[in-house]
Amino acid sequence: MTDEELLAGVRDAIVNLDIEGVQSASEEALKNGIPAYRVVTEGMARGMEVVGQKYEDGEYYLAELIMAGETMKEGMAVVEPHLEAGDIESAGKCVIGTVRGDLHDIGKNVTVTLLKAANFDVVDLGVDASAEQFVEAVKESDADIVAMSALLTTTMVEMRNVVEGLEEAGLREKVKVVIGGAPITPEYAVEIGADAAAVDAVAGVRICSEWMK
């Protein structure tokens, strides 16, 4: 098999949500001398792009997005020991979390997976993250992007607190801010001083990737 065919096998396993398939296809590619970074960038990441497109086209739903993330995670477990430091150039650094008072994490977790698939370094603050935690994480990581999620209208106000916290710390000019979650609108992003609102995880990652180009 050619390199292209082997890498297509990795890609298709991700698209087909085939965990065993992605493991065996990744092992096969490595065995045939394809560098680990190519297995990730030309196999798995391409597969996640196809999954994202299928989601946008209404062919896949949230369950498939989550499953694709799990499939990639298992593929990465095979490939990671073969990756050398600096093999894959980082697309940028993103601090992400669900804001204080909100314990919903499905959308946030899918976004984390997709960001990693797009080669972002991700600092995941989890759920119920305070403005102080966001600010501290930006300082420590020298992040390019802050991504916030909220599912409850009552916790949306915390997003404004994070933006204000970044301003007070003198960090707002250094980072782009994207917000997402069911109640979030582009108008609300403008109102609180964020740079963008994402309708879903796929859109959020596209926004982040565009910013870093």
pLDDT, residue 138, reads 98
Distance set, CA 190 to CA 56, 126, 128, 134, 161 (Å): 24, 25, 23, 19, 14
CB 127 within 8 A of CB 98: yes
pLDDT, residue 87, reads 77
**To 5 degrees, how large is the angle CA 162–CA 134–CA 150?**
60
165: CATH: 3.40.50.280
Q: Give me the residues of the chain with pLDDT under 70, please.
A: 85-86
206 and 103 assigned to the same domain:
yes
Residue listed under structure tokens 């966001």: 134
pLDDT, residue 106, reads 86
pLDDT, residue 191, reads 97
Give the residue numbers spanning the domain of 29.
Answer: 3-82
Positive or negative CA dihedral for 100, 103, 108, 113? positive
Dist CA 39 CA 26 (whole Å): 7
pTM, rounded to two decimals: 0.83
122 and 66 assigned to the same domain:
no
CB 114 within 8 A of CB 202: yes
Q: What are phi and psi of 86, to 5 degrees?
A: 85, 0
109 and 201 assigned to the same domain:
yes
161 and 135 assigned to the same domain:
yes
Q: Which of 82, 106, 140 is the last residue of a domain?
A: 82
pLDDT, residue 117, reads 86
Residue listed under structure tokens 């990756």: 83
pLDDT, residue 17, reads 97
